[in-house]
Amino acid sequence: MYVPSYWDYDQLFKNIDVCIIGSGIVGLNAALSLKAASPALQITVVDSGFLPYGASTRNAGFACFGSMTELLDDLQQESADQVFERVKLRWQGLLRLRAIIGDHEMEYEPLGGYEVFTPADEASFELCRNSMNEFNLRMEALTGMKQTYTVADEKIASMGLGNTKHMICNNGEGQINTGRMMSALIHKARAVGITILNGLRIYEIQSNGNSVSLACEDGFTFKAKKVLVANNGFARKLFPEMDVVPARAQVLITEPVEGLKLKGSFHYEKGYYYFRNVGNRILFGGGRNLDFETEKTTEFGLTPLIQNTLDRLLSELVAPGLKLNIAHRWSGIMGLGSSKTTILKKVNPGIFCAVRMGGMGVAIGSMIGSQAAQLVLESD
């Protein structure tokens, strides 16, 4: 139980115009957009972690807007308009993030994104090749870029990959340093007077006419005029009925690898596996498809099934023949659901949410944050 002092209440918990729950990419972008639109607003962002503890500081840093197998898969469930509308959102979100933070600051590198096909994936590759012209026309209309997708088989050897028969390059894809991106957002938010409070878990929010009360796990309550919930994979802790399913994603990074050829970001098996170079290290993640049920959790952690598979694929597919030592392993929690579309809406008077980033938050987070800010400003 934490009992705030009079000074705490007076300084930190009084006259809050908008309280944002979650200091990930969405919460911080929403806070920055609110402050830019209305500088006098008192904005407080609270986060249960002593650092943001969800996905924004724990992801792979792919600045990607759609690999061909992923989009073909989406087209099985949704109309072409819906699928390419989301591609547009991802593209615009990345441009926005780059404009807010700066390419140099977040070490944005336009190294291209590659989809990897093993000999067993021949049918899937053919499907992509047959759709390539149509996809390129769609992409050109959205991004202005000609030939977004190209077959890149001639680069397989120069990347040092094993067991790879084909590659398709997305020439518009890049990668960022996730840690630098989040540090820059936190710094920018504090610099414009946004308060960020860490270690504060909200377990209940309630509208009471013209204010909202927030109950903290530590046993005290405070009020804000409006609340925006931006806790993504943890949304059901506050809204048990919401169509958001937590999805854990496990990742590893190697020590620097002597002789590493790999450069760029890579997707394998419809994006269930992803790897990239981080300088001369390899970051490798995925494998959720090996055990969907166990990975539907808000608990951070690693499992032998997934980590052993990552280890095996690392030496068979990603960097065969190189001496690989694992430096670090971790996990993050994403927010998925029955649809890949974000839930951005007013939930109750004064209470709004922007959750379910569908594992694409690096790409869409800045746009969703800005749209959430607009919703908060325009609604009661």
Ligand X SMILES: Cc1cc2nc3c(=O)[nH]c(=O)nc-3n(C[C@H](O)[C@H](O)[C@H](O)COP(=O)(O)OP(=O)(O)OC[C@H]3O[C@@H](n4cnc5c(N)ncnc54)[C@H](O)[C@@H]3O)c2cc1C
Q: Look at the block and give the residue holding tokens 């808000």.
A: 298
- Options 47-55, 98-106, 128-136, 147-155: segment touching ligand X (CB under 6 A): 47-55
Task: State which residue, 60 or 367, has the beta carbon closest to ligand X.
Answer: 60
**Site residues for ligand X, window 221-260 (CB under 6 A)?**
230-234, 237-238, 249, 251
Q: Determine how many CB atoms are found less than 10 A away from the CB of residue 21.
A: 26
Q: How far is the CB of 355 from ligand X (least distance, A)?
A: 7
Q: How far is the CB of 279 from ligand X (least distance, A)?
A: 17
Q: Determine how many CB atoms are found less than 10 A away from the CB of residue 215.
A: 15
Question: Measured between alpha carbons, how far is 354 from 20 in angstroms, rounded to an integer?
Answer: 10
Helix 178-191 and helix 25-37: axis angle, to 10°?
30
Q: How far is the CB of 328 from ligand X (least distance, A)?
A: 13
Task: Kindly report the length of the chain.
Answer: 380
- Of 19, 41, 61, 295, the residue at the interface with ligand X (CB under 6 A) is 61
Based on the shown chain and the rule CB under 6 A, indicate whether residue 101 belongs to the binding site for ligand X. Answer: no
- Of 16, 18, 43, 55, the residue at the interface with ligand X (CB under 6 A) is 55
Task: State which residue, 88 or 129, has the beta carbon closest to ligand X.
Answer: 88
- Of 48, 124, 164, 254, the residue at the interface with ligand X (CB under 6 A) is 48
- Options 12-20, 24-32, 106-114, 183-191: segment touching ligand X (CB under 6 A): 24-32
Q: How far is the CB of 35 from ligand X (least distance, A)?
A: 17
Based on the shown chain and the rule CB under 6 A, indicate whether residue 53 belongs to the binding site for ligand X. Answer: yes
Based on the shown chain and the rule CB under 6 A, indicate whether residue 52 belongs to the binding site for ligand X. Answer: yes
Contact criterion met (CB below 8 Å) for 355 and 242? yes
φ/ψ of 308, rounded to 5, equals -65, -35
Based on the shown chain and the rule CB under 6 A, indicate whether residue 128 belongs to the binding site for ligand X. Answer: no
Task: State which residue, 183 or 320, has the beta carbon closest to ligand X.
Answer: 183
Question: Measured between alpha carbons, how far is 236 from 298 in angstroms, rounded to an integer?
Answer: 10
Question: Measured between alpha carbons, how far is 30 from 370 in angstroms, rounded to an integer?
Answer: 5
Q: How far is the CB of 154 from ligand X (least distance, A)?
A: 26
- Of 20, 31, 45, 58, the residue at the interface with ligand X (CB under 6 A) is 58
Q: How many residues belong to the site for ligand X (CB under 6 A)?
A: 42
Based on the shown chain and the rule CB under 6 A, indicate whether residue 363 belongs to the binding site for ligand X. Answer: yes
Contact criterion met (CB below 8 Å) for 337 and 243? yes
Which regions of the chain does DSSP assign to beta strands (E)? 18-21, 43-47, 62-63, 113-117, 149-151, 166-170, 174-175, 195-198, 202-208, 211-216, 221-224, 226-229, 245-254, 265-268, 273-278, 281-286, 326-336, 343-348, 351-355
121-124-130 Cα angle (round to 5): 140
Q: How far is the CB of 183 from ligand X (least distance, A)?
A: 14
Question: Measured between alpha carbons, how far is 29 from 43 in angstroms, rounded to an integer?
Answer: 12
Q: How far is the CB of 190 from ligand X (least distance, A)?
A: 16
Based on the shown chain and the rule CB under 6 A, indicate whether residue 112 belongs to the binding site for ligand X. Answer: no
Question: Measured between alpha carbons, how far is 222 from 213 in angstroms, rounded to an integer?
Answer: 6
3 state DSSP class of 98:
helix
Based on the shown chain and the rule CB under 6 A, indicate whether residue 155 belongs to the binding site for ligand X. Answer: no
- Of 271, 332, 337, 350, the residue at the interface with ligand X (CB under 6 A) is 332
List of residues contacting ligand X (CB under 6 A): 21-27, 46-49, 52-56, 58-62, 201-202, 230-234, 237-238, 249, 251, 285, 332, 334, 357, 359-363, 365
